[in-house]
Amino acid sequence: MSFEFEKDLKVEETNIPGLLVFDLPVHGDNRGWFKENWQRAKMTALGLPDFGPVQNNISFNATKGVTRGIHAEPWDKYISIAAGEIFGAWVDLRPGESFGQVYTTRLDPSRAIYVPRGVGNSFQALADGTVYTYLVNAHWSLEQKKTYTFVNLADPELDIHWPIPLEESERSEADLHHPMLKDAKPMSPKRTLVTGCNGQLGHAIRAYAEAHGLEGFEYTDIDEFDFSDPKAYDKYDWSLYGTIINAGAYTAVDRAETQEGRPTAWKANAQGPALLARVAKDHHITLVHVSSDYVFDGVQEEHTEDEPFAPLGVYGQTKAAGDIAVGNAPEHYILRSSWVIGEGHNFVKTMMMLSNKVADPEDKLDQVTVVDDQYGRLTFTSDMAGAIFHLLDAHAPYGTYNLTGSGTVKSWADIAREVFDLTNGNGSKVKPISTDQYFANATSPVSPRPTNSALDLTKITETGYTPANWEETLKTYVEKELGR
C-alpha cells in the first residue's frame, strides 16, 4: 500500500460538528517513513481542541475485513493509522440537531481524525495487519462505561457503503446486536456540579435547570462537599464532569472583619475557588464562579470588567483573590454581581417586613432609616441563573462578565421606598441616613462599603443576553411574596 508523502499539515471540517480530519506530513525514503502523528502546538493552531489526552490505545486487526463499531464513548478521541488502511464511518449520537449525521472517509498513515465525545466511531480494516491507534482524554472506568451508546453498523437509515460487504466481514457478537438509529440512546452530557446549592443563587440554578428539563446536575453544599478542603476532591471522578457552577461563598461582609470570620472568608472565597480552578484546569472542566462589586473601591460611578481590583475590606479582598485564582482555569466564566436578591433572607424581604410593622397601628415603629449614599442596581438570582446558562449554551468567550439588573442606578434608601410603596404604599416612612451615621453606634466591626456599586452591562449584552430591568423584577418579586 502506498500513500502520499510530504503533504502540508492541514485540517478539514466535516458535516458533523467538531469532527475534524487532518492531513499529516509524512516523510519517507527507501528505508520507510516518519511522521509527527500528533503535534499539540501546530494542530491546536489549526483548530484542534486542546483536549488533554491521558491514554494511548492501539487496536491490531489481523485480517482484512475486520469491522468494529459503531460505539460512542464518553471522551474525545484522536485516531490515526500506524500501518495499513481503514474505511471509517462516524455517526453523531449527541442530542441535538446533528443527531444521526454520518461521515465516512478512508484513513492511512498520512491522515488522522479527531472525534468529539458522543460521536459514534466505527471502522473496517482494508489490509491485513492494520494498526489503528488513538489518544483519549479520560481513563476507562466502569462508571464511564455506563455512558456508552451504540448504533448498528448495518442500519439502512445510515446508508453506509462498506467497501467489504458486512456479511463478508469479521464482526463481534455484540456489534451484531446494537440498536438501529431510531432506537439508539443519545449520549448523555457530562455532569454539572453545583456548589452552594442551599444558598440564594443555588436555589435559582436548581429551579432553572428543573424548569428547562436539564439533566446530569448534582447539587452539593458544604456539608457534602467542602470545596475549600483539598481532601474533599478525592471522592470525585472528575473526568465525568463538564461544568462546575460555584454558587457557594462566604457573604457575611461585616463578620469577615472579625477574628473568627476572617479565616473562614479566606477559606471559602479564595482557597476554595483556587482548588476548583485547579481541578477545572486539570480535567478541562468549565468553571462558573460568582464575584462581587466589593472587589472595587467604589470610586468609579460604573465599573467595567477590566477595572483594577481595589477592595476596601476583607470580604472584597477574599473575593478578588478568588477571581484571580479562577482566572487560571482556561475555561471559566466569572459573573460579577451586586446587591443580590433571591430566595431566603435578603434586603427586600427585610424592607417588606419593616413596611408591615410601620403599617401596623399596634406596632410602635413609625419610620425606618436606610442609607442613601451607596448607589447601585439589584441583582435577582433568577436573572443571574439565566445569564449563567446563556453563557454556557451560547459558548460565549470565556472571561469575566458583569451581571446585575438593568435600569436606573439608585440608592438603598430609594429601593427601600419602592419596596415600602409596593408593600403598603408607605414609602414616605423611609428616612435617608448617611452610612457613617447609620453605623456610628456599631459595637462590632463594620466592613467599608463601596459608594458606587453599579456595573457596566455592555459586555454581557453583546453576547445576546439582555438583563431584566431590576425595578420590574422587584415589582414581580414583591407581588409574589405578598401572594397577589
- DSSP-assigned letters across all residues of 296-353: S-S-SSSB-TTSPP---SHHHHHHHHHHHHHTTSSSEEEEEE-SEE-SSS-HHHHHHH
Helix (H) or strand (E) holding 121: strand 119-125
Judge contact between 354 and 368, C-beta under 8 A.
yes
Cα separations in angstroms, 408 against 316, 382, 471, 472: 24, 19, 8, 11
Which one from 78, 132, 134, 375 is the annotated catalytic residue? 134
Phi, psi of 475 (to 5 degrees): -60, -45
Phi, psi of 195 (to 5 degrees): -95, 160
Phi-psi bin for 246: left (phi > 0), alpha (psi -120 to 50), beta?
beta
Active-site residue flag, 71: yes
Strand pairing partners for 77?
A: 115, 136
Active-site residue flag, 395: no
Phi, psi of 191 (to 5 degrees): -75, 155
Strand pairing partners for 376?
A: 410
Judge contact between 3 and 108, C-beta under 8 A.
yes
Grid coordinates representing 19?
469532527
Judge contact between 428 and 366, C-beta under 8 A.
no
Judge contact between 81 and 33, C-beta under 8 A.
no
Looking at the chain, how many residues does it have? Answer: 484
Which one from 71, 103, 233, 390 is the annotated catalytic residue? 71
End-to-end CA distance of the chain: 78
The DSSP 8-state label assigned to residue 268 in this structure reads I
**Angle subtended at Cα 72 by Cα 68 and Cα 78, rounded to the nearest 5 degrees:** 80
Annotated catalytic residues are: 71, 134
